[in-house]
Amino acid sequence: MTDRAPQPVDRQLPTEESRDLLALVREIAQREIRPRAAEEEDSGRFPREVFTLLSESGLLGLPYDGAFGGGDQPYEVYLQVLEELAAARLTVGLGVSVHSLACHGLAGYGSKEQQSAHLPAMLGGGLLGAYCLSEPAAGSDAASLTTKAVRDGEDWIITGTKAWITHGGVADFYTVLARTGAEGPKGITAFLVPGDAQGLSAAVPEKKMGMKGSPTAQLHFDGVRVPDSRRIGEEGQGFTIALAALDAGRLGIAACAIGVAQAALDEALSYARDRKQFGHPIADFQGLRFMLADMATKIEAGRALYLAAARLRDAGKPFARQAAMAKLFCTDAAMAVTTDAVQVLGGYGYTADFPVERLMREAKVLQIVEGTNQIQRMVIARHLAGPETR
């Protein structure tokens, strides 16, 4: 692996404050995150202390209201922070994105009392969140979820199993979507469940292809009792809350994908300048030069696409179609770029001596989470052509 830090990306940032913020993030990434990434991903160690440090540095609540402990940053800044974190280690970048997703419901739909009671600890008080929508039999068709919440006086009793939960078993709070009414999207309600709730337990984490430092686990809700004061939004509003969070979350995945792709390109460039064959650095050969040029172009195009969607969101305009496009394009780009980076390194690219094989394994998951790329295409097509009539 190359020890030198990658060149900073040439970024468009709106304020002096945001430029300082990105410099701080790069510093933390180079000092605390990047040097340990390979070893801890290999051993599957979750870097909980990094999230504590990020919280203490004001980096876990960036796009949220400063009145509740957030960072008051526009999405175009928050996403570039995510990109830098993911370039250092996807487990951290994606972890911050998932935490932000878990805060979205309460920040957007909670009452002022709920927000005052919970948000400061969630956004800047060291807590870590998780988002529980998927179930073993309800993945892409999330509206068919069956985890139940039944009213019992002033409380709700939640029973069922959630699947694939990032931070499952290590989170301090869970935003949980559960069925409180009829079948379909209108019978779903959102709840904020504390991590130490009685009856809540996590299975052994999944054995994954990559991102092994990020625990992904099933969560069992065995009669978990939560007061009605922890219901987010109205009864039956849960699916709307879940989808709104995912629109924003998809931009986070897009930014993480560009971070992973940029890290792979940086490694490929560094190697191609050093490695000699036929008496020349391999970076001299047109076959590789064109490949590197295509990789860089995909990254710049992806960054421009997620930033365009972010700026729509920051301006209060609809951005769901562009968010789906950004998620689709950036994650496909990351898969292509990381695969090409392995090719640039030749045999060494296929070994764990260099990070590109890990980056390739990590890129794959981004085409699956928060709506697979098939689902993104369905979302985009619905915006273009309206709902399917069959």
Ligand X SMILES: Cc1cc2nc3c(=O)[nH]c(=O)nc-3n(C[C@H](O)[C@H](O)[C@H](O)COP(=O)(O)OP(=O)(O)OC[C@H]3O[C@@H](n4cnc5c(N)ncnc54)[C@H](O)[C@@H]3O)c2cc1C
Site residues (vs ligand X, CB under 6 A): 98, 130-134, 139-140, 164-166, 208, 216, 365, 368-372, 374-375
The answer to whether 77 and 18 have CB atoms below 8 angstroms apart is yes
H or E, element range at 255 = helix 238-274
Measured from the CB atom, is 272 or 360 closer to ligand X? 360
The answer to whether 334 and 254 have CB atoms below 8 angstroms apart is no
CB count within 10 Å of CB 7 equals 9
Q: How far is the CB of 366 from ligand X (least distance, A)?
A: 9
Residue 110 to residue 177: CA distance in whole angstroms: 14
* Beta strands 155-166 and 148-152, pairing class: antiparallel
Measured from the CB atom, is 134 or 180 closer to ligand X? 134
Residue 74 to residue 270: CA distance in whole angstroms: 33
Measured from the CB atom, is 165 or 380 closer to ligand X? 165
* Residue nearest ligand X by beta-carbon distance: 139
Q: How far is the CB of 210 from ligand X (least distance, A)?
A: 9
For the record, the structure tokens of 317 come out as 């305009």
> DSSP per residue over 292-324, as a string?
HHHHHHHHHHHHHHHHHHHHHHHTT---HHHHH
Q: How far is the CB of 334 from ligand X (least distance, A)?
A: 15
Measured from the CB atom, is 11 or 364 closer to ligand X? 364
Q: What is the DSSP letter of 387?
A: S
Nearest 10 degrees: Cα torsion 326, 330, 331, 335? 160
Measured from the CB atom, is 80 or 175 closer to ligand X? 175
Measured from the CB atom, is 237 or 372 closer to ligand X? 372
Q: How far is the CB of 30 from ligand X (least distance, A)?
A: 26
Measured from the CB atom, is 226 or 365 closer to ligand X? 365
Sequence-distant (6+) residues with CB within 8 A of 220 are: 161, 200, 201, 202, 203
Active site positions, annotated: 370
Amino acid letter, residue 47: P
Place of tokens 């009213």: 151
For the record, the structure tokens of 188 come out as 């779903």
End-to-end CA distance of the chain: give it in Å, rounded. Answer: 52
Q: How many helices (H) and strands (E) does the chain have?
A: 11, 10
Q: How far is the CB of 167 from ligand X (least distance, A)?
A: 7
Q: Can you give the length of the chain in residues?
A: 390
Q: How far is the CB of 209 from ligand X (least distance, A)?
A: 9
Residue 34 to residue 299: CA distance in whole angstroms: 20
Q: How far is the CB of 92 from ligand X (least distance, A)?
A: 14
